[in-house]
Amino acid sequence: MRSRDGKVATRFFRKVLKATHPQTPRVITVDKNAAYPGAVEALKGDETLTAKTELRQSKYLNNIIEQPHRNIKRLT
Protein backbone atom coordinates (compact mmCIF):
# COMPACT_ATOMS: atom_id res chain seq x y z
CA MET A 1 0.00 0.00 0.00
CA ARG A 2 1.32 3.38 -0.90
CA SER A 3 0.96 5.95 1.87
CA ARG A 4 -0.93 8.36 -0.41
CA ASP A 5 -3.61 5.76 -1.04
CA GLY A 6 -3.99 5.17 2.70
CA LYS A 7 -4.36 8.88 3.38
CA VAL A 8 -7.00 9.20 0.68
CA ALA A 9 -8.93 6.21 2.03
CA THR A 10 -8.78 7.61 5.57
CA ARG A 11 -10.02 11.00 4.36
CA PHE A 12 -12.85 9.30 2.46
CA PHE A 13 -13.99 7.32 5.52
CA ARG A 14 -13.82 10.43 7.72
CA LYS A 15 -16.02 12.31 5.26
CA VAL A 16 -18.55 9.49 5.10
CA LEU A 17 -18.63 9.02 8.86
CA LYS A 18 -19.03 12.76 9.48
CA ALA A 19 -22.55 12.63 8.02
CA THR A 20 -25.38 12.04 10.46
CA HIS A 21 -26.03 8.38 11.10
CA PRO A 22 -28.37 6.86 13.68
CA GLN A 23 -25.58 4.56 14.86
CA THR A 24 -21.97 3.72 14.14
CA PRO A 25 -21.47 1.06 11.48
CA ARG A 26 -21.20 -2.54 12.64
CA VAL A 27 -19.61 -3.76 9.39
CA ILE A 28 -17.97 -1.86 6.55
CA THR A 29 -17.86 -3.78 3.27
CA VAL A 30 -15.30 -2.66 0.71
CA ASP A 31 -13.49 -4.12 -2.25
CA LYS A 32 -10.04 -5.67 -1.97
CA ASN A 33 -8.07 -2.41 -2.17
CA ALA A 34 -5.01 -2.68 0.08
CA ALA A 35 -5.48 0.86 1.43
CA TYR A 36 -8.71 0.13 3.32
CA PRO A 37 -7.42 -2.01 6.22
CA GLY A 38 -4.84 0.60 7.16
CA ALA A 39 -7.39 3.39 6.93
CA VAL A 40 -9.88 1.56 9.14
CA GLU A 41 -7.17 0.78 11.71
CA ALA A 42 -6.19 4.46 11.76
CA LEU A 43 -9.82 5.43 12.38
CA LYS A 44 -10.09 2.87 15.16
CA GLY A 45 -6.87 4.21 16.66
CA ASP A 46 -8.21 7.76 16.97
CA GLU A 47 -11.65 6.44 18.05
CA THR A 48 -13.55 7.70 15.00
CA LEU A 49 -14.71 4.09 14.64
CA THR A 50 -15.41 1.73 17.50
CA ALA A 51 -13.12 -1.23 18.03
CA LYS A 52 -16.09 -3.53 17.30
CA THR A 53 -16.50 -2.25 13.73
CA GLU A 54 -15.59 -5.05 11.36
CA LEU A 55 -13.98 -4.53 7.97
CA ARG A 56 -15.22 -7.03 5.40
CA GLN A 57 -13.32 -7.12 2.14
CA SER A 58 -15.18 -8.79 -0.69
CA LYS A 59 -14.78 -8.47 -4.41
CA TYR A 60 -18.52 -8.38 -5.03
CA LEU A 61 -20.53 -7.71 -1.86
CA ASN A 62 -19.89 -3.98 -1.80
CA ASN A 63 -21.51 -3.32 -5.17
CA ILE A 64 -23.94 -6.06 -6.18
CA ILE A 65 -25.74 -3.97 -8.80
CA GLU A 66 -22.53 -3.61 -10.82
CA GLN A 67 -22.11 -7.32 -11.32
CA PRO A 68 -22.60 -7.82 -15.07
CA HIS A 69 -24.61 -11.03 -15.00
CA ARG A 70 -27.16 -10.35 -12.28
CA ASN A 71 -30.86 -10.34 -13.12
CA ILE A 72 -31.33 -6.83 -11.76
CA LYS A 73 -28.67 -5.56 -14.14
CA ARG A 74 -30.52 -7.03 -17.11
CA LEU A 75 -33.81 -5.55 -15.93
CA THR A 76 -32.42 -2.05 -15.57
Mean pLDDT of 16-31: 89
Mean pLDDT of 11-16: 92
Query: Is 90 exceeded by the pLDDT of residue 55?
Result: yes
Q: How far is CA 7 from CA 15, 17, 28, 55, 75, in A?
A: 12, 15, 18, 17, 38
**pLDDT computed for residue 73 by the predictor:** 59
Q: Model pTM greater than 0.85? A: no
**pLDDT computed for residue 62 by the predictor:** 62
Query: Is 80 exceeded by the pLDDT of residue 1?
Result: no
